[in-house]
Amino acid sequence: MSGTLSFEFFPPKTPAMEESLWRSIQRLAPLKPDFVSVTYGAGGSTRERTHSTLQRLLAETQLVPAAHLTCVNANRDEVDEVAQAYWDAGVRHIVALRGDAPADAAGNFTRYLPHPEGYAFAVDLVAGLKRIGDFEVSVAGYPERHPESADLSDDLDNLKRKVDAGATRVITQFFFEAETFCRFVENARKAGITVPIVPGILPVTNFAQVQKFAKACGAAVPDWMGGLFEGLDGDPETRQLVSASVAVKLCEKLRDNGVEDFHFYTLNRADLTLAICRMLGLGARVPASVA
Ligand SMILES: Cc1cc2nc3c(=O)[nH]c(=O)nc-3n(C[C@H](O)[C@H](O)[C@H](O)COP(=O)(O)OP(=O)(O)OC[C@H]3O[C@@H](n4cnc5c(N)ncnc54)[C@H](O)[C@@H]3O)c2cc1C
C-alpha cells in the first residue's frame, strides 16, 4: 500500500475527555499516520483548545498535525492571527473550511452569514492562508454535494475554485456507499480537479447521532444500515462489531476501485479505527497496544 492514512480528532472539552483523547492518540500513533488533524469548533468556539491540542501533539508526539480553521464569526485579521499562531507553533498543514453558523439556543442549525469583514467562503480562506505562509492546504469535498449548493455542478465549481486557490488535497464528508464516492471522484476529474480526493470514513458509534449529522450535511444513510443497527441502542459491544464490519466493507470496496488514501473520523476513540486499520492492513504494522 502506498496511500496515505490520516486521523481526525476534536479538541477535548473536559479533563476527562482530554485524558481519553490522549489515550486514543497513543494507541493510534504506532500506525504512523501521515498526519492527524484537529477540528475547529463551530463558530471558532474551540480556538484555544484546538491550539493547545496541536501544541501538545507537536511537543509530545512524532505525529504531523494539521489544524482545521474556519471563517465563521471572525474578521480576516482574527483568522490570520490564528493561522500565524499555527505557523509559529510549527503547524504546516491547514484544513481550510467555511464552517457553519453555530446552532441556536434550541440546538437547531441556522443559516450561515459571512462575517462582514471576514473570509466569506473557504476559497477566500485558502487564498488568505497562502499569503501568510506556504501551508499545505486541504479542503472539504461533498460526495453528495453540500446542502447549500444549487446542484452538483455548482458544488464542483466551488471545489475547483478551492483547488485553484492553492488546496492540494480534498478530504470528503462521510458517506456510506462506495459508489457515491467513486461517482464523485469521476465527476471531479471531469471538472478538472486533479488533486488527491481522500474519502472521509466515519465508523458509526452512535447510529441515532449519525442520522442527525447526516441529515444536516446532506449525506444519505442507506436503509440497510438502519436494519443493521436496529435494536442495538442498548448493546454497545455488538454495535461496535457491526460498525467495524460496515467500515471495513466500505473501505474494501473503495480499494477495489483504486482508492489508496483514507481519512478516519475517529471521534477521539481509538478502538474502532484501530480495528478497521488492522483489518485492512493500513498503517505501520505493529503489535496491538494493551491500553
Ligand atoms: C473534512 C471536513 C472537515 C471539517 N472540519 C470542520 C471543522 O473543523 N469545523 C467546522 O466548524 N466545520 C467543519 N466541517 C464542516 C464544514 O465547515 C461545513 O460542511 C460547511 O457547511 C462548509 O464548509 P466548506 O469549507 O465546505 O465551505 P465552502 O467550500 O465555502 O462551501 C460552502 C457552500 O457555500 C457555497 N459557496 C461557495 N462560494 C460561494 C459564493 N461566493 N456565493 C454563494 N455560495 C457560495 C458552496 O457552493 C457550498 O454550498 C468539516 C467538513 C469536512 C468535510
The CATH number of the domain holding residue 277 is 3.20.20.220
Asked, for residue 291, whether it belongs to a domain, the answer is no
Q: List, for residues 37-55, the tens digit of each pLDDT value.
A: 999 987 777 888 999 999 9
- The pTM assigned to this predicted structure is 0.96
Q: List, for residues 154-205, the tens digit of each pLDDT value.
A: 999 999 999 999 999 999 999 999 999 999 999 999 999 999 999 999 999 8
| 201 touches 250 (CB < 8 A) | yes
CA separation for the pair 145, 140 (Å, rounded): 11
**Nearest CA among 109, 125, 110, 136 for reference residue 74:** 125
With the most atoms of ligand 1 within 8 angstroms of its CB, the residue from 38, 51, 97 to mutate is 97
pLDDT of the residue at 106: 78
Percent of the chain with pLDDT over 70: 97
Asked, for residue 97, whether it belongs to a domain, the answer is yes
Asked, for residue 290, whether it belongs to a domain, the answer is no
- Total number of domains constituting the chain: 1
Buried b (16+ CB within 10 A) or exposed e, 117-153: ebbebbbbbbbbbeebeebbbbbbbbbbbbeebeebe
* Ligand 1 pocket by Cβ (under 6 Å): 39-40, 42, 68, 70, 95, 97-100, 121-122, 140, 146, 148-149, 154-155, 158, 162, 171, 173, 200, 217
Span 277-289, average pLDDT: 82
pLDDT of the residue at 286: 61
Annotated catalytic residue 177: no
Asked, for residue 138, whether it belongs to a domain, the answer is yes
pLDDT of the residue at 290: 54
Distance 249 CA to ligand 1 centre (A): 28
pLDDT greater than 60 at residue 1: no
pLDDT of the residue at 118: 96
pLDDT of the residue at 63: 98
- Domain with 59, as residue range(s), is 5-285
**Nearest CA among 43, 56, 71, 64 for reference residue 136:** 64
Q: List, for residues 54-113, the tens digit of each pLDDT value.
A: 999 999 999 999 999 999 999 999 999 999 999 999 999 999 999 998 777 777 778 899
pLDDT of the residue at 42: 74
Distance 13 CA to ligand 1 centre (A): 23
Distance 99 CA to ligand 1 centre (A): 5
Q: If you take atom 46 of ligand 1, which residue's CA is the nearest one?
A: 149
pLDDT greater than 70 at residue 230: yes
The sign of the CA dihedral 220, 225, 230, 232 is negative
CA separation for the pair 142, 164 (Å, rounded): 17
pLDDT greater than 80 at residue 232: yes
Q: List, for residues 259-272, the tens digit of each pLDDT value.
A: 999 999 999 999 99
Confidence of residue 289 (pLDDT cuts 50, 70, 90): low
Mean pLDDT, the chain, as a whole number?
Answer: 94
Q: List, for residues 246-260, the tens digit of each pLDDT value.
A: 999 999 999 999 999
Asked, for residue 47, whether it belongs to a domain, the answer is yes
